[in-house]
Amino acid sequence: MDVVVVTGASRGLGRFCAQSLHDSGYRVVGLGRSAVTDAPFEMRSANVADPISVAEALGDLRRDPSVYALINAAGIASMNLVVTTPAATARRIVETNLLGTIYCCQQIAPALIKRGGGRIVNFSTLGVQLAIKGEAIYIASKAGVEAFSRTFAREMAPYGVTVNTVAPGPIDTALLAKVPKANVDEVVRRQIVPRQAEPVDVWNIVSMLLAPESSMLSGETLHVGGA
Amino acid sequence: MSVSYDEAEQFLREEVAAMMTIDPATIDADTVLIGANRVLDSADLVMLLLAVEDFARDRVGVEFDWTSDSAMSEARSVLRSVGSLARHLTDLQSA
């Protein structure tokens, strides 16, 4: 059974993707900061911002050719003006969103290379295109994810591994809980498809990227809702 | 579980030769793996390192970390040549 590793699998889009993958017949290995006991798939506790924690959690999969894909959905946000954001918060956002993505790719890529193919899907945000006020640090971390993914895609192409980024707009998850509705509506209004996306809309794109037919699609950022 | 330097070098020579589809006899301890005059491209080097990772674990009984800060240093790296990598693998046994 093909294995898909999903980070941020304890809640939000990561949880939705992990659940959908499980329902589709994959063996899911979920990563989360907190131990989740109600998941129907295997959950492991790890802090993606810590490379040692990632290595301990995923070390057994590093050489496992049954690993087919990695979905990096772990992420944190702190909506605030740059000048009022504590340095420690800025660091935590970049370490989790950007470095966390890189650490997990480093850990799982060898398994995909050994397999001779596979998929990596990273998560960004529509905010990179829209330059949303109050999200500069979060957006900077995600812009880093997009640049990393596009370049890493070139490195992985010789091994038949695609690397793409999915960039959703505002989705009703915990990440959005503290964002005023007016702000959400404004972002949705600026999307090409002016409808607030549901988790299933994101999953549909992730699912497409995981399909064998998507082997020629790599290094791209797919904007959910359009920007 | 242990390997001699000669066994490690022989393993590396065979792996590199297989990737280059040439006779292992044409590979020696001085064959360069990184930097100028390297014989493998970066994609093949990654495949070699994965094979070495398995060799280290299965035959030597040690972990081989090729993501360390010094691994890709042309001057200091244990990956400089077939000989330096073979020496590193055997040295790991006594570390």
Instruction: Note the pLDDT of residue B65.
Output: 83
Best of B45, B46, B47, B68 to substitute, by most chain A Cβ atoms within 10 angstroms, is B46
> What pLDDT digit, counting tens, does each position of B24-76 carry?
999 999 999 998 899 999 889 999 999 999 999 999 999 888 877 666 666 67
Whether residues A110 and B47 touch (CB distance < 8 A) is answered with: no
Contact: A113, B46; criterion CB under 8 Å: yes
Is the predicted pLDDT of residue A173 greater than 90, yes or no? Answer: no
Assess B65–A contact: CB distance below 8 Å, yes or no. no
Inform me whether the pLDDT recorded for A25 exceeds 90. Answer: yes
Report which residue type is found at A176.
Answer: L
Q: Say which range, A14-28, A146-160, B2-16, B58-72, has the weakest mean pLDDT.
A: B58-72
d(CA A131, CA A114): 39
Report pLDDT for A209.
98
Compute the distance between CA of residue A97 and CA of residue A94 in angstroms, rounded to an integer. Answer: 5
Q: Enumerate the residues of chain B whose CB falls inside 8 A of the CB of residue A158.
A: 43
Q: What is the identity of the amino acid at B69?
A: D
Largest CA distance in chain A: 49
Say which amino acid occupies B63.
Answer: E
* Sheet containing strand A221-223, strands side by side: A42-45, A27-32, A3-7, A67-72, A118-123, A161-167, A221-223
pLDDT for the residue numbered A206: 98
What pTM was estimated for this model as a whole?
0.90
User: How far is it, in rounded angstroms, from Cα A165 to Cα A55?
Assistant: 23
Residue that has been written with the tokens 């398995």 in this structure: B54
Q: What is the pLDDT of residues A159-169, one digit of tens each?
A: 999 999 999 99
Nearest to A106 among B42, B47, B67 (CB): B67
CA–CA separation, B55 and A82 (whole Å): 49
**C-alpha A15: how far from chain center:** 11
Closest CB to A158 among B43, B53, B67: B43
Residue B72 vs residues A49, A179, B29: alpha-carbon distances, Å: 23, 44, 18
Q: How far is B43 from chain A (nearest CA, A)?
A: 7
Quick check: A175 pLDDT over 80? no
In angstroms, the Cα distances linking A81 to A37, A96, A132, A135 are 36, 19, 11, 7
Alpha carbons A14 and A12: distance in angstroms, whole number: 5
At B74 the pLDDT is 61
Record: contact B50-A110, CB cut-off 8 A: yes
CB contact under 8 A, B43 and A106: no
Residue A125 one-letter amino acid: T
Average pLDDT over chain A reads 95
Q: Which amino acid is at B65?
A: D
pLDDT at A178: 77
Q: Could you tell me if A142 and A128 are in contact, meaning their C-beta atoms sit under 8 angstroms apart? A: yes
pLDDT score, position A176: 78
The reported pLDDT for the residue numbered B63 is 87
B43–chain A Cβ distance below 8 A for any pair: yes
3-state secondary structure of A188: helix
pLDDT computed for residue B71 by the predictor: 65
d(CA A109, CA A209): 17
Instruction: For this complex, say whether ipTM is above 0.85.
Output: no
List, for residues A185-194, the tens digit of each pLDDT value. Answer: 999 999 999 9
User: In Å, how far are A67, A137, A202, B51 from B46, measured between CA atoms?
Assistant: 18, 34, 33, 9
For A91-141, what is each residue's pLDDT tens digit?
Answer: 999 999 999 999 999 999 999 999 999 999 999 999 999 999 999 999 999
A 27-66 residues with CB below 8 A of B? 63
Confidence grade of residue A23 (pLDDT, cut at 50, 70, 90): very high
Instruction: Report which residue type is found at A162.
Output: T
Q: How many CA atoms lie within 13 A of A62 on its CB side?
A: 20
CA-based nearest distance A131→chain B, Å: 35
Tell me if chain A has a CB within 8 Å of the CB of B22.
no
